[in-house]
Amino acid sequence: MRIAVFDTKNYDIPALERAGKEKGVEFRFFEAKLGEDTAELARGYDGVCVFVNDDVNEKVLDKLHEMGVKLVALRCAGYNNVDVRAAYGKVHVVHVPAYSPHAVAEHAFALLLTSIRRIHKAYNRTRDFNFSLAGLTGFELHGKTVGVIGTGRIGRAFIDIAKGFGMKILAYDKFPAKDAGFPYVDLETILRESDVISLHCPLTEETRHLIGKDSLPLLKKGVVLINTSRGALVDAEALLEGIKSRVIGAACLDVYEEESDIFFEDVSGHIMEDDVLARLLSMPNVIVTSHQAFLTEEALSAIAETTAENVVEFFRDGVSKNELCYHCGKIDSCRSARLGKCF
């Protein structure tokens, strides 16, 4: 089993090599992202392994199919960058549905605490021997209301942490869990009543710009918005408006709507073309990390192991439990997807 790994970063390689050696999968690493211009690199491989910003559109899938590539193995949970419908009948798609929800939930909290206790400012100050506390007054989480949108694996891990801080939980999910141990409310209540809002739902047509111009008038003044899910859940221009008008008190972003050519790369020697991102980064109350929430030793090992298992299982059995079913995309609740009967 020969798999071409696209958009490889140095930190991807050790865990994938280890898992590949254990399971008999040969991973070959390419720095290029998969797209129409680079699909040719996959010629002669049984499958491709891709990440969040590879563009696996219909043309790319047709090209892969024409070259005899049978599998697209996502080494991530989200799959909004793969046209799963276009893959139907041509190329099978597998993903890593869960690796470490704690990696992302803990990062969301790290961003939140950094923001509200001004740690980013204090860090820079003390390194410059400036020990003044002026402007560093924060606020406490205990007793505050946190609205969690999306209560899957990561959302629930986030809620567990928030409970530990003594926060009041409000949750919204299109498919609420039974016996959740926290109250579900409608989206408007979350927007109106939350001191902190954290996004943990997938990006779909329905959730695109979930936080946008229409949400701004509903938000509680000074709300802290955390997005560790997918950039386009938030309309970046509306976010900027919300911050400028002081409605949004702070934003903690691990993802950004137009991140694909910027995040994961060192563009420090270039002129920033994205004016909205540049303006957001200039705000003292905006913290941006570069889609880093997943990046723990534990998560990288789990991702590599599941990816190698997905490959082995698919080429051995012709199906994989982690296959994405184009009919509904819900691997947990769809029987045909679970049985690998999607195509």
> Which of 282-298 are b and which e, b meaning 16 or more Cβ less than 10 Å from the residue's Cβ?
ebebbbbbbbbbbbbee
Interface residue list for ligand NAI (CB under 6 A)? 77-78, 98, 101, 104, 149-155, 172-175, 200-203, 206-207, 228-230, 254-255, 291, 293-294
Nearer to ligand NAI, 60 or 149 (CB): 149
Residue recorded with tokens 């947990």: 332
Nearer to ligand NAI, 34 or 203 (CB): 203
Q: How far apart are CA 113 and CA 141, in angstroms?
A: 9
Please state the closest distance from residue 295 (CB atom) to ligand NAI, in A: 7
Token pair for 231: 């950039």
Please state the closest distance from residue 176 (CB atom) to ligand NAI, in A: 8
Residue recorded with tokens 């560093």: 136
SS (H, E, C) 224-258: EEEECCCHHHECHHHHHHHHHCCCEEEEEECCCCC
Residue number closest to ligand NAI, CB atom:
152
Q: How far apart are CA 56 and CA 229, in angstroms?
A: 19
Nearer to ligand NAI, 267 or 328 (CB): 328
Instruction: Please give the backbone phi and psi of residue 5, each rounded to the nearest 5 degrees, phi first.
Output: -95, 120
Please state the closest distance from residue 41 (CB atom) to ligand NAI, in A: 25
Nearer to ligand NAI, 47 or 150 (CB): 150
The radius of gyration computed from the CA coordinates of the chain, to the nearest angstrom, equals 21
Nearer to ligand NAI, 202 or 340 (CB): 202
Q: How far apart are CA 335 and CA 329, in angstroms?
A: 11
Residue positions annotated with a catalytic role: 230, 259, 291
Interhelix angle 13-23/297-317, nearest 10 degrees: 40
